[in-house]
Structure 1
């Protein structure tokens, strides 16, 4: 009895190849005992199987296998001392598809021996993709950022993918658009298209894309200007309006509280008109000393306020110094809609039809959009300005902007991203099994150091070229930063005022009781005096009457 199993043998490992690849390699396992079997102790004895390598219509003997001894080369050799459970060098070699002895990684594309046709095209930015053809051999040579990412992803696939590059120019389409380039994939001209291909919604209708391998987004390149403050009113900028208002309000409130506290104890400094007294009280907040402020509560209020004032003035001084001494470079434009309102000219890459379409959707006239092919043209146009035949801003995809800033790091900066985009990816036919595997490989690349090394190679180190003079502008101090201090001085002033008011009411009430008792005593004492006065007056009258009688003659009496 002959039993055949469709197996591929990888030195001790069996793979099912015939159904997956449709290849002509199979392993035939033949039972040597034809119809006989051996039972000992009610157990079926192990059989010996021959392993053969079927190549096309021929078979090559590999070795033998038993469940007890494993794999061995010759049937007559002594296998009692060895158990070949793992690949052994003395076995006959296996011939794999393509007449090769190299063990493949696994499932392989394409299965008919044809190499994967990978479409490439020269980019407007050669750092991303540059394609050259040898005039003698007609061989295609491609280099660039996108190509390095593709080849790095190929290495990380779990199977081998033979491929070759096919130039887009060989199709008779001279410098066609990227839409035309990607559309060659569903037409069957390419098995894949690689390069600086933006993942767009309209392109996903006829091709599948891998995950992006670059940063996403659309931003602006604008010149920077010296924003050194030369304003006459620069001294007001260290503090925001709400902080200025709060400081003045608490200054006046503290002065009023001090005036009330010192007025009560009749401070000699508080003389004259009301406004003069109030001004003097407010000046206590700045020039207080023990001789001028007499009350204990007033001194406490002044001490807390001086502490708050010291912190605010020191912060103000530090912030004003930074505003006056630090040179700051600020972008000349920050909003694309403002450019549209003013009718400014803007630039975009000549190969980026996506950005041009976006600008037209925003409302920019075609005459206001100027295309440039390389970073040097962008720099010249930005230097001229919109009114002198140049542009006010260059609007481009973030990977191109990083490349521009790597070459022109002085005098320009990126604003944004102002719009979202999906970045660059590789295009494959619809439902291609390669898309998922390439996406996983790209994830491995972008999460590791490989993508950083590729960027340094083609774009440059993003930390090596910076606008050294660009410093973050110091912001004005706001009320929220000092709200705790104002709370402390407000509580101190209000508490002192309430304590003084309670003491004043208590003393007045006690004084009123004393005055009422004193009035009663005064009234009783006054009645007695009046009686005495009447009595004294009566006595005086009697004495005077007697003296008159004594001095009058008797005849007249």
Structure 2
């Protein structure tokens, strides 16, 4: 897992290079990236090649570009890359009008109506079908969920380490308190000896009583015969 802060830190590190589309360096420079870490590219193929190599092999760690261009790139390479950005449905190119132009409210109302009717999303799905996008705070993307099986190795290492640590702890305790442990075993042996003695005594007592009863029965029978 990685957080937004970790992403920003990695992209701003000395080892990370950022790619951008030719002609948009000023825009990328305003994002506080170092100019020495910026690489210029001209096509989606250049983007894919640079991302596949990575910063350590002469490529880049990320591409910064306008959302429409990134979505076009993802139409072809969505299986290998994803976009991290805003989830707004009105992202895209901006239109500049003369101050006071009557087109401004007309365009605003038209965009608001398209957004309210859901047609903006329909148009986006129709034009950029099959894209892969990851957005901050968006949990609707299909990713492989983490299950208990994903942590089997971690649980195994933790269990073995804990068992080993407990065994060492008890070994040191027994070594340090060996006289006490030995006395406990001696007491146990003594008690077992006493139990064995009582058992044998009761057994002899019961066996002797049985013999006396049998002898009295035999004597009584003989007297009866006489």
Q: TM-score, normalised by structure 2?
A: 0.50
Q: Which has the higher contact order (CA 8 A, sep 6+)?
A: 1
Query: Could you say which structure has the larger radius of gyration?
Result: 1
Q: Which has the higher strand share?
A: 1
In terms of fraction of residues, the more helix-rich structure is 2
